[in-house]
Amino acid sequence: MRAAPTILHLDMDAFFASAEQASKPSLRGKAVIVGGLGPRGVVATASYEARVFGVHSAMPMAQARRLAPNAACLVPRFGFYRAVSGQVMELLHALSPLVEPLSLDEAFVDLEAGGVAWDAESARRTGTKLRADIRAATGLTGSVGLAASKMLAKIASERAKPDGLVLIEPGTERTLLGPLPVRTLPGVGPATGDHLRRAGITTVDEIAEAGEDELVRLLGKAHGHALYAMALARDDRPVVAERETKSVSVEDTYDIDIHDRVRVGTEVRRLADRCVRRLRASGLSGRTIVLKVRRYDFSTLTRSETLRGPTDDPAVVREAAARLLDAVDTTGGVRLLGVGVSGLADYTQEDLFAQAAGEETDTGQEPSDEASASQPPPAPKERHWPAGHDVRHSGYGHGWVQGSGIGRVTVRFETPDSPPGRVRTFRVDDPDLEPADPLPLVTRSPGPDLVARAVP
């Protein structure tokens, strides 16, 4: 571990919801929930105003709406979030060549490798400036943790939320970690946490007191060794420069083998949804769905299915995982299940279909009179207006969809740098209303002038 707190962890505050508030003046200071709006939709991010009501990520959207009935519920705009994330990552790369993104809104930075920090004072100064630069460029806030290791830097940023900075001085790590719950440490999920709790271990201090041999007995050699080292604040993992992600996956180990086939199917669907949330948080999609099953006798099976093109649709991943499960015998019981997605890309299956349709129809030639006469005119394409997405009206300009239904769509006309706008309602097939690209976020510099930072 280092002698100075020169590893920085940045975690943007309620990123998706904050980006929506920055681009929609009427939502600033109000409860905003971003996620799927269908019957099985889940919350991706909730603004801090919505969290006051108990709303949190991964919660069913129906439950979130009951808790915060007046909140604005929006469908994610991942292309917009990726663009804003690119602005933030550019600021991080200006600090150091060693930047390790964990998702669109989270990354480690090795400040020492960039020569911008070498002790606590210079690290704090760098972290403070970074937060100010992010606010100036995007209008958003981020929480910064500074420490001598990645584990502690991430713990520090959690303690800094929202919109703060926490620096852990070298030499104070054990005192800080001791009283914290075991789930604070990397690699301790619900199953491991429950296993330790049944052994009477609930805090990091108690992990250290149990000793390495006991942890190896409880958790196995690799996990036991790693967890004991982290309980003693030993973490020498380096910040790894950005590299291509090969796959995204999640898995759960069960303390008691699952024999009920219906329960197995339910767990696979839940894992598929978690996997898609992680996939989307990274701004990715994938075309190969992988199912992992470890049976009662510790034999491990993997099955995979490759789709026609990349997707980040939870229903598609769920259905593919369910088909793969149909081919696996789980009669004797299951102790581990996992769902993963590989063959990653930064576009989705729907994008490919749209591309292909364009290639098929845009031939550069006019159809012959005979062909026009022999074929019926194409049916008009049904127009879809997702809540929160951008539109443009020929008379009223730029706006965003507040909601739609029963043949109508309601739009609020405003831009990132305008006052809160007026609301108007149109027919869903109004020819003057069209989908639009997101506008640049506009932020205010220390001076009186507005500075626009383009979002491609």
User: Which residues are annotated as catalytic?
Assistant: 106
Distance CA 106, CA 15 (A): 10
**For residue 272, what are its two tokens?**
């598929």
Question: 293-297: long-range contacts at Cβ-Cβ below 8 A with a sequence spacing of 24 or more?
Answer: 293/325, 293/328, 293/330, 293/334, 293/336, 293/337, 293/338, 294/253, 294/334, 294/335, 294/336, 294/337, 295/330, 295/332, 295/333, 295/334, 295/335, 296/257, 296/332, 296/333, 296/334, 296/335, 297/332
What's the rounded Cα separation, in Å, for the pair 50 and 162?
14
Alpha-carbon span 364 to 408, nearest angstrom: 35
What residues form DSSP beta bridges with 378? Answer: none
With contact defined as beta carbons under 8 Å apart, do 292 and 268 qualify? no
